[in-house]
Amino acid sequence: MSPKGLDYSQLYAKDLPPAAGPWEGLYPYNFVTGHGSPELIPVEGFIESVTNALKKNGRDLAVYYSDGGPLGNLALREFLVKKLKKHRGIDVTVDEVMICSGSTQCILLINDTLLEPGDTVITEQFTYSGALNNARRKKANVVGVPLDDDGMRVDLLESTLADLKAKGVKPKYIYTIPTCQNPTATNLPMDRRREMLRVSMEYGVPIFEDECYADLIFEGEWEASIRSLDTTNHVLHIGSFSKSLAPGVRLGYIVAPQDVMNQMVVSKVDVGTNMVTPMMVADFLENNYEEHIETVRDMLHRKRDVLIAAMKERFGPKVDFYEPRGGMLMWFKFPEGVDTSVPLDAAKKEGLIYNPGADWAVDPAKGSNYIRICYGLPTEDQIREGVEVLAKVFNQELGDF
């Protein structure tokens, strides 16, 4: 009941997700969400770039879409065309790139364009909770395909598609995070990428490729994107500046065929992504991208090593994990029967927050003995201290497992 006495709960739309509680603020040991490191935010560079952009184009803010039309800032799309060609192997024009308010809006737009209640989508068995939740809010059926240390099992993807076809079901898309997968941090090898595209073409089901973490490979060879292999419009591709630059800039992008883009623009009802931030980001990245991203990768590499060492020291053989060669998160497996959601409240009281695995699984029961730890925000000391707290509360709440 609100202070004025009106019970709004009687007016809510049906089938809303559970209401959120008050924001609890940032925990001292924050192992959730793709935060960046505050010390890596190029504040002086941002100041210079936003000044440059406003001096050059500030008066364009008076007119909707004056920075590049409904697809978003033209300078940023021009930068992306060059970056995608050089770093992801994707050859597109500016008319096939749309700027969005973060990759979450990209997911929303694709789902708004493609999904109806009762549709089926395929994802990795463990995948981004935001993508799962949005597909479910669209009342889609989500089918999970198992992963191994090389990402989605494409042989099982093919058998899944065959089983669905036999039942008269044609999925709307195959959602995959092939590079620095979230939450497992695995990377799909090139042979599997090619095979996934072949399977997609054979069954006529497009691939929805989410590469939000693709800038963050810090070890080994870079695999080209699946979109780079595609000559038949079977791949919709999205990316983000949140992980490589700053979450607070709230910028992502979609790469799609122009006819699909024209349809998605209709669903983009925000009257255009804010214009100032893309102006600033375009100027900054044009002049600083390579140097900045190397600095980010170096820090994440060090933090990953600190996290691995701390988890080995405190948990030893009780946990199993894949050692990622990029990204900002890790996926830890505890013994069968352990429910990692149980210690969460106790952890919060100790100033620690982490992601129980069930929220990142198509079948929550299969993720209940996992945790996701993001290591982008905490310092190296906070990572060590946070793992100490994690071990303490797990031992208290779960006993000798």
Q: Which residue type does 32 have?
A: V
* Per-residue confidence (pLDDT) for residue 1, from 0 to 100: 44
- Domains in the chain, please, with CATH? 23-42+291-398 (3.90.1150.10), 44-288 (3.40.640.10)
Angle, helix 74-83 to helix 276-315, in steps of 10 degrees: 40
**In whole angstroms, what is the distance from residue 247 CA to residue 102 CA?**
8
Angle (CA) 101 104 106, round 5° = 75
Tens-binned pLDDT, residue by residue, of the chain (401 aa) = 455 788 998 899 888 888 888 888 889 999 999 898 999 999 999 999 999 999 999 899 888 888 888 999 999 999 999 999 999 999 999 999 999 998 999 999 999 999 999 999 999 999 999 999 999 999 999 999 999 999 999 999 999 999 999 999 999 999 999 999 999 999 999 999 999 999 999 999 999 999 999 999 999 888 999 999 999 999 999 999 988 898 888 999 999 999 999 999 988 878 778 889 999 999 999 999 999 999 999 999 999 999 999 999 999 999 999 999 999 999 999 999 999 999 999 999 999 999 999 999 999 999 999 999 999 999 999 999 999 999 999 999 998 76
What pLDDT digit, counting tens, does each position of 18-47 carry? 888 888 888 999 999 989 899 999 999 999
Q: Which residues pair with 271 in a beta bridge?
A: none
**Left, alpha or beta for 16 (phi > 0: left; psi -120 to 50: alpha)?**
beta
The predicted pLDDT at position 153 comes to 98
Angle between helices 129-137 and 102-114 in degrees, nearest 10: 30
Distance of CA 106 to the CA centre of its chain: 11
At 309, phi and psi to the nearest 5?
-60, -40
d(CA 170, CA 122): 10
**In this structure, are residues 303 and 30 in contact, taking their beta carbons and an 8 Å threshold?**
no
Residue 315: predicted pLDDT: 95
* Most distant pair of Cα atoms in the chain: their distance: 65
Handedness of CA 390, 392, 398, 401 (dihedral sign): positive
pLDDT given at position 399 = 85
Which pair of structure tokens corresponds to residue 79?
């930068």
How high is the pLDDT of residue 50? 94
Helix or strand holding residue 53 (H, E): helix 43-57
Q: pTM above the 0.75 mark?
A: yes
What pLDDT is stored for residue 133 in this prediction? Answer: 94
Q: Residue 204: which of 173, 178, 236 has the closest Cα?
A: 173
DSSP 116-171: -TT-EEEEESB--HHHHHHHHHTT-EEEEE-EETTEE-HHHHHHHHHHHHHTT---
pLDDT single digits (tens) 341-358: 999 999 999 999 999 999
Given the structure tokens 């042979």, which residue do they identify?
A: 191
Q: Which tokens belong to 253?
A: 């992008």
